[in-house]
Amino acid sequence: MKKLIYLLTILLVTLNSCEKSSSSDPFELDISSMELVTVTNPNDSGEGSLRWALDLDYPRHIVFSFSGTIELEDDIIVTQPEFYIDGHSAPAPGVLVVGAPLIIRTHNWLVEHIHWRRGDINFTSRGDCVSLNGTECYNGTLDHCSFYWGLDETVGINEVGRNLEITNCIIAEGLSYTNYVPGEPEHSKGMLIYFEVKGLLIARNLFINNRDRNPLFQAGFSGEFYNNISYNGEYPPCLSRSTRPESDEIIPHTVNIAGNTSYGFTNGWKFRYHNIHPSSRIYMNDNNYDTIHGSFDGTLLTQPALTPTYEILPREVAEAYVIENVGAFPEARCNTDQRVIDFYVNKEAGFVFDESNPVGIIDSQDEVGWDLFPYSEGD
């Protein structure tokens, strides 16, 4: 749904039931005050392109006059703040961007209703499909997007600031035998949350057909993980060690994990822990994996570790909600999004990952087809 005003206000309150304050701080993005900028062509660069619109140095509400495929020759690196990519302004099935990543290194932004597929081309570019990167990256939301075919991660979050959200997205089919990462031929990664990420919300997403990182939270993560579905891979969602590998510095986790569903991994369904320090505080509730799996010495709480900043649906309600609403254009899904939704609904890989027959894990997008969108002008 188009938004005239996007307002995200988070109240910092202290509840008796919570061990910590909210993971986020208040911020406000007023789209109504932004200048309207129209992407008029699917070119990689030049006036009227998506790259041109994102390079503008003033607050901009970016809309599209067409639906179709934008084929990138190189990374789009965004450093200018205050923007809204309004993918829903395009006629269905929307805008598909292929061939190189979106890298956001700035603040106060919203990206909605965009299809983004990295693919095994342009190997000199960054391997992620989308990357949130650096301390200037804060106050931002990826909502109702579809991300596929990363060479490293499909979604990477690295040394960012606070107040980031990833909601209602598909994170799917990280490519396996790309040789993009030397020594890791079987890569296929979903989402990596790097060290000491604070104030991150991940809610109502579908992680599907990634061998690993569905997602993976590294040391010092403080945030919320609600109502997500993870399906089919070698490794399920994982909260990793509480120390940096290059030192023995202890960086504890503070996390709410609630209302999530996980199936089809090597040991069935679970949430995996790896070397969690006693000072970490973890709240788990209403997941289909509320027992502890792995090396966990942290404190398991009966009340939220952080004041929830997002509505937590009951798990069974959430599972149906995600299937109905996830992705870039849920009301008019493209063939690729519908294919992975059907894969999950039909449990095509079963309930335990079979390494001898890794159904759904792909080496290249060529195995399933690019499913490019034809160019079409809007009304």
Residues 6+ apart with CB under 8 A from 183: none
Bigger pLDDT: 358 or 24? 358
User: Rounded to an integer, what distance in angstroms lies between the CA atom of residue 358 and that of residue 377?
Assistant: 40
Please give the average per-residue pLDDT across 272-289, as a whole number: 86
pLDDT tens, 184-193?
667 899 999 9
User: Which pLDDT score is estimated for 35?
Assistant: 98
- Model pTM score: 0.91
The residue with greater pLDDT, 36 or 270, is: 36
| Mean pLDDT confidence for 197-219 | 95
C-alpha 272: how far from its chain's center?
Answer: 19
Render pLDDT for 313-353 as a digit per residue (tens, 0 to 9): 999 999 999 999 999 999 999 999 999 999 999 999 998 89
pLDDT reported for residue 261: 95
Instruction: Give the H/E segment covering residue 345.
Output: helix 335-345
Instruction: Please tell me the predicted confidence (pLDDT) of residue 332.
Output: 96
Per the annotation, the verdict on 241 as an active-site residue is no
Q: What is the pLDDT of residue 299?
A: 87
Report the pLDDT value the prediction gives residue 262, as an integer from 0 to 100.
94
Angle at 205 between CA 200 and CA 211, to 5 degrees: 95
Does residue 204 carry a pLDDT above 80?
A: yes
Is the CB of residue 226 less than 8 Å from the CB of residue 319?
A: no
Question: How large is the greatest C-alpha to C-alpha distance in the chain, in angstroms?
Answer: 60
Question: Which token pair is 210?
Answer: 């990634």
Residue 80: CB atoms within 10 Å: 16
Distance from C-alpha of 19 to C-alpha of 82, rounded to nearest angstrom: 33
CATH of 31-377, one of 2.160.20.10, 3.40.50.300, 3.40.1190.20, 2.40.260.10: 2.160.20.10
What was the pLDDT predicted at 178?
A: 67
The Cα 174–Cα 56 span in angstroms is: 31
Please report the pLDDT score of residue 3 as a whole number: 36
Residue 9 predicted with pLDDT over 80: no
Q: What is the pLDDT of residue 185?
A: 66
Question: How much is the pLDDT for 361?
Answer: 95
User: How many Å apart are CA 117 and CA 120, to the nearest integer?
Assistant: 10
CA dist 260 and 148 (Å) reads 21
Report the percentage of the chain scoring pLDDT > 70.
88
Q: How many other β-carbons are positioned within 10 Å of the β-carbon of residue 208?
A: 25
CB 25 within 8 Å of CB 12: yes
Mean pLDDT computed over 47-52 = 98
Catalytic residue from among 126, 213, 241, 315? 213
